[in-house]
């Protein structure tokens, strides 16, 4: 067994050495092509290692450490707390149902908007697209502040509705409620879904749609049986993107604090007693869940979806 292992090790070293030699001094066009591919992949691999792999490994080490300030020992107490403590289960449930609700609402609004922008020659279309996509450039804290300006106790829309209804503005203010947080999430996520779906609509076969209409199909039937299958990859991609965004939003929830969700609880773990092990466990679980969700969902589309 030792001889076989030594032989295998020698062969492996020779292959690695030979591969590195072809990268340094390629002799054929195929080897030069391989060198170009490797050169293009190196920056991405470095980015993955520096900003992805190493931080995740360290975060996992902290989550299983028995000491608070030094990574030593091994314990799964932080992960057991996430499973056994009803408080953390409630936080997880809040995060999931709110992310699902905002995702469905965002996609519902984004589909007809993308359809209108791509199918019709609208006046001032460039300006309209710029305005609709502008929230993508705003941090979550600014989005939360805008919701307060609109729907707070002294908000513009709050006072306008109070004037129409003959009620006090404070009784109609929803900025710091779950409804206000819902609007803040939609403000950030609808533009993301809209831009992705607009690109998908550009690839739709309009001849097939016109043929369906000429055969007597209604607009709804045409959309369901002709358009929807063609935009399915983009629709799935938009759902993945928006759902992940909903789970990751922090600045907005930090200001409004209307619902206790996963990212807000991570902040509380660090702020209240600096419970870094529990915060690391929560961050690790978040990453594993989002990664598994993305891989699982993208398996159900046959076309490439760029996220």
Q: Degrees (nearest 5) of the Cα angle 286, 175, 138?
A: 60
Q: Are residues 36 and 163 located together in one domain of the fold?
A: no
Q: Are residues 212 and 90 located together in one domain of the fold?
A: yes
Distance separating alpha carbons of residues 282 and 269, to the nearest angstrom = 10
pLDDT per position as a tens digit, 167-193: 888 888 888 889 989 999 998 899 988
pLDDT per position as a tens digit, 7-60: 666 777 777 676 666 766 777 777 777 777 777 778 888 887 777 788 888 888
Q: Are residues 233 and 277 located together in one domain of the fold?
A: yes
Residue 6: predicted pLDDT: 59
Q: Are residues 233 and 132 located together in one domain of the fold?
A: yes
Q: Are residues 40 and 113 located together in one domain of the fold?
A: no
Residue 170 sits in which domain range? 84-298
Distance separating alpha carbons of residues 26 and 32, to the nearest angstrom = 5
- Average the pLDDT over 274-302 and give the result: 84
Mean residue pLDDT across the chain: 82
* Number of domains, the chain: 2
Q: Are residues 264 and 204 located together in one domain of the fold?
A: yes
What is the pLDDT confidence band of residue 305, given thresholds at 50, 70 and 90?
Answer: very low
Task: For tokens 């369901």, name the residue.
Answer: 224
Strand segments, DSSP code E, in 37-145 are none
pLDDT per position as a tens digit, 195-250: 888 888 877 777 787 888 888 888 888 888 888 888 888 888 888 889 999 998 88
Distance separating alpha carbons of residues 218 and 190, to the nearest angstrom = 27
Share of the chain above pLDDT 90, in %: 17
Q: Does 179 fall in a domain? A: yes
173 in Cβ contact with 155 (< 8 Å): yes
CATH of the domain at 265: 1.10.3720.10
pLDDT for residue 161 is more than 90 = no
Q: Are residues 167 and 275 located together in one domain of the fold?
A: yes
CB-based contacts of 241: which residues, under 8 Å, 6+ apart? 192, 193, 196, 307
Q: Are residues 145 and 29 located together in one domain of the fold?
A: no
Q: State both tokens at 186.
A: 């939609």
Q: Are residues 104 and 224 located together in one domain of the fold?
A: yes
Residue 307: predicted pLDDT: 44
């Amino acid at each position: 067994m030792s001889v076989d292992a030594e032989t295998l090790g020698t062969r492996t070293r020779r292959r690695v050495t030979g591969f590195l030699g072809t990268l340094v001094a390629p002799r054929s066009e195929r080897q030069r092509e391989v060198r170009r591919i490797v050169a293009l992949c190196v920056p991405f691999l470095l980015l993955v290692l520096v900003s992805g792999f190493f931080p995740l490994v360290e975060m996992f080490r902290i989550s299983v450490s028995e000491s608070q300030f030094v990574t030593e020992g091994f314990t799964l107490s932080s992960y057991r707390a996430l499973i056994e403590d009803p408080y953390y289960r409630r936080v997880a449930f809040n995060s999931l149902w709110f992310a699902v609700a905002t995702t469905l609402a965002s996609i519902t609004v984004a589909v007809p908007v993308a359809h209108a922008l791509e199918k019709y020659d609208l006046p001032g279309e460039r300006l309209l697209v710029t305005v609709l996509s502008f929230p993508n450039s705003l941090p979550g804290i600014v989005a939360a502040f805008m919701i307060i300006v609109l729907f707070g106790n002294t908000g513009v829309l709050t006072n306008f509705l109070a004037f129409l209804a003959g009620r006090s503005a404070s009784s109609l203010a929803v900025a710091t409620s779950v409804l206000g947080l819902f609007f803040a999430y939609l403000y950030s996520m609808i533009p993301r879904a809209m831009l992705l779906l607009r690109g998908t609509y550009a690839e739709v076969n309009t001849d097939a749609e016109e043929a369906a209409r000429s055969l007597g199909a209604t607009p709804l039937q045409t959309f369901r049986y002709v358009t929807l299958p063609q935009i399915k990859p983009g629709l799935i991609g938009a759902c993945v993107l928006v759902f992940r965004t909903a789970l990751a939003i922090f600045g907005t929830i930090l200001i409004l604090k209307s619902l206790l969700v996963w990212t807000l609880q991570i902040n509380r773990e660090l702020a209240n007693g600096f419970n870094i092990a529990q915060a690391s466990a929560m961050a690790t679980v978040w990453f594993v869940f989002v990664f598994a969700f993305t891989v699982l969902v993208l398996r159900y589309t046959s076309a490439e979806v760029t996220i």
